[in-house]
Amino acid sequence: MDFAQASCTEFVTVLASNAPVPGGGGASALVAAIGTALGNMVGSLTVGKKKYADVEEEIIALKAKCDALQKELLDQIELDAKGFEPLAKAYGIPKDNPDRDKILEDATMVACQVPMKIMELCCQSLDAIAVFAEKGSRLAVSDAGCGAVCVKAALQAASLNVFINTKTLKNREAAEEMNQKCFAMLDKYCALADNIFETVKAGFFK
């Protein structure tokens, strides 16, 4: 199944099953794409409005960036499934096979790559949503807040798909390097997402 092309019903049904993919990584990518699209919608509702003419050029450029981000995030759904396949097979190798440890180590490193990429894309998305929330149409600002919440959730979820794999790596130096990159993204961008949410929420009670 091409998970990015599947219907919502199909995707959720397979996600809930005992199939090895999609899993948390693919779900994270989808949620991030949805969150990015929510921010992008604010941009769409801003462009062409006289009230926002002074920021239109910036918003148009940001929309183009988010269009690309949405596609790249959706691409990660399938890539995450493919990245997990070697690891799933490696766990099935008999424990007395002398090559098992190396194959498992290599497959675990591969399985970390896509969730890390999803996190990086989430960070880019939140940077964009922050601008949509600040400069976009006030009539749609709630959607920027919703987008930030979704992308934050995706960022956190993707990190867990890294951590479950770095925990088992024998190469602790590589594991800690990846962990630190994840921690840095979580610290900076969860705070940014929270700030977007709180700022949007506060605007409704002025």
Residue 47 lies in a domain: yes
Residue 57 lies in a domain: yes
Residue 13 lies in a domain: no
- Domain limits at 87? 21-203
pLDDT values of the chain reduced to their tens digit, one per residue, 206 residues: 678 888 999 999 999 999 988 999 999 999 999 999 999 999 999 999 999 999 999 999 999 999 999 999 999 999 999 999 999 999 899 999 999 999 999 999 999 999 999 999 999 999 999 999 999 999 999 999 999 999 999 999 999 999 999 999 999 999 999 999 999 999 999 999 999 999 999 999 98
Look up residue 1 and give its amino acid.
Answer: M
Does the pTM exceed 0.85? yes
Residue 10 lies in a domain: no
Residue 183 lies in a domain: yes
Angle between helices 56-91 and 24-44 (to 10 degrees): 170
Residue 15 lies in a domain: no
- Contact indicator for 140, 45 with CB cutoff of 8 Å: yes
Short-list 127, 135, 181, CA closest to 152 = 127
Short-list 147, 188, 196, 158, CA closest to 33 = 147
pLDDT at 179: 98
Short-list 204, 90, 189, 62, CA closest to 141 = 204
Q: What is the CATH number of the domain that holds 108?
A: 1.20.120.680
The domain total for the chain is 1
pLDDT at 20: 84
Measured distance CA(204)–CA(202) in Å, rounded: 5
